[in-house]
C-alpha cells in the first residue's frame, strides 16, 4: 500500500511540474527601459538628437527605440509616466546593448534585463560634429485613378423572387457551437491534477486505516 501511495504522489508532482513550464514559456519578456543625460564631446546633446540601442535580437524603429531628445542633454525621464528609451525584442538575458546617437556608435554598452529600468548617462566622443539624424520614412499615398466611364443606365425592373418567404412560425436554424477557446484547456488541466492528488490522498488514508 505504501508503494501505491508514493506512486500516486510522484505522479501528481510530475504533472504539476510539466504544466508550470508550459505556462511560463507563453509569457513574453518585459522590455528594458533607459533614461539619463547625453553629452557629445563634453557638451549636452542638442534637441532632436536620436538615441538608439542596437544589439542581437533588439527591435529598432518601434516603441521609443530610437527616442528623440526633447530636453537638451537628456533622453527619457525618471518620471514613471514619462517616455523612456524602450529596448525590447527576442533578447537573451544579460545580452550586450550598444548605444547610438544619430546612427553613430558611442561605444557605450549596457546589459539587457527583462523588466529593468536603468538610469544611464551617455558620454560620447565623436570626431567632428554630430551628424544630422536620419529623416523618418515618408508615407506616400497615391490617389485612386479617376474613372471617366459612366455607369450604364438600366431601366429594367429587378427580377421578382419566386422563392417563398420564410414562415415566421418556423424555428430558426441552430447555429454550430463556437470553437473551443485554447485558454479553457488550463482549467481542465488543473482539474485533472487536482483529481489525481485527491485520489492519491484517499488511497493513502484508506491504506493507513487498513494498516491499523
Tell me the sheet residues that pair with 109. 98
In terms of Cα–Cα distance, which of 86, 96, 104 is closest to 50?
104
First to last CA, the chain: 13
Q: Measured between alpha carbons, how far is residue 78 from residues 30, 91, 117 in Å?
A: 18, 24, 9
Cα–Cα distance measured from residue 75 to residue 41, given in angstroms and rounded to the nearest whole number: 17
Q: Cell numbers of 206, please?
A: 484508506
Query: Rg (Cα) of the chain, in Å, rounded?
Result: 32
43-57: b or e for each residue (b if 16 or more CB lie within 10 Å)? eebeeebbbbbebee
- Name the residue ranges covered by the structural domains of the chain: 1-27+184-212, 32-124
Q: Is 109 helix (H, G, I), strand (E, B) or coil?
A: strand
Q: Provide the residue-wise pLDDT of the chain in tens; the chain has 212 residues.
A: 555 555 556 666 566 555 555 444 556 789 999 999 999 999 999 999 999 999 999 999 988 999 999 999 999 999 999 999 999 999 999 999 999 999 999 999 999 999 999 999 999 998 877 888 876 544 444 555 676 666 667 667 666 766 666 565 655 555 555 555 555 556 666 777 777 777 777 777 777 776 66
Q: Half-sphere exposure (CA, 13 Å, Cβ side) for 81?
A: 0
Predicted local distance difference test score (pLDDT) of residue 141: 45
Q: Half-sphere exposure (CA, 13 Å, Cβ side) for 193?
A: 16
Predicted local distance difference test score (pLDDT) of residue 137: 45
Strands (E), 27-71: 32-40, 43-44, 50-54, 67-68
Assigned architecture for domain 32-124: Sandwich (2.60)
Predicted local distance difference test score (pLDDT) of residue 129: 78
Amino acid at each position: 500500500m505504501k508503494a501505491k501511495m508514493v506512486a500516486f504522489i510522484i505522479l501528481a508532482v510530475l504533472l504539476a511540474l510539466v504544466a508550470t513550464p508550459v505556462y511560463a514559456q507563453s509569457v513574453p519578456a518585459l522590455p528594458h527601459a533607459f533614461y539619463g543625460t547625453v553629452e557629445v564631446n563634453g557638451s549636452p546633446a542638442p534637441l532632436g538628437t536620436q538615441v538608439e540601442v542596437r544589439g542581437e535580437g533588439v527591435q529598432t524603429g518601434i516603441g521609443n527605440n530610437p527616442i528623440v531628445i526633447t530636453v537638451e542633454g537628456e533622453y527619457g525621464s525618471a518620471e514613471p509616466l514619462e517616455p523612456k528609451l524602450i529596448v525590447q525584442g527576442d533578447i537573451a538575458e544579460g545580452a550586450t546593448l550598444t548605444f547610438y546617437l544619430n546612427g553613430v556608435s558611442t561605444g557605450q554598452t549596457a546589459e539587457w534585463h527583462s523588466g529593468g529600468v536603468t538610469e544611464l548617462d551617455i558620454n560620447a566622443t565623436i570626431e567632428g560634429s554630430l551628424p544630422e539624424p536620419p529623416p523618418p520614412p515618408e508615407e506616400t499615398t497615391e490617389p485612386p485613378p479617376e474613372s471617366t466611364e459612366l455607369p450604364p443606365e438600366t431601366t429594367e425592373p429587378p427580377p421578382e423572387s419566386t422563392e417563398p418567404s420564410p414562415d415566421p412560425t418556423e424555428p430558426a436554424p441552430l447555429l454550430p457551437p463556437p470553437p473551443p477557446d485554447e485558454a479553457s484547456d488550463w482549467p481542465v488541466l488543473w482539474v485533472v491534477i487536482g483529481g489525481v492528488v485527491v485520489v492519491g490522498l484517499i488511497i493513502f488514508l484508506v491504506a493507513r486505516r487498513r494498516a491499523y
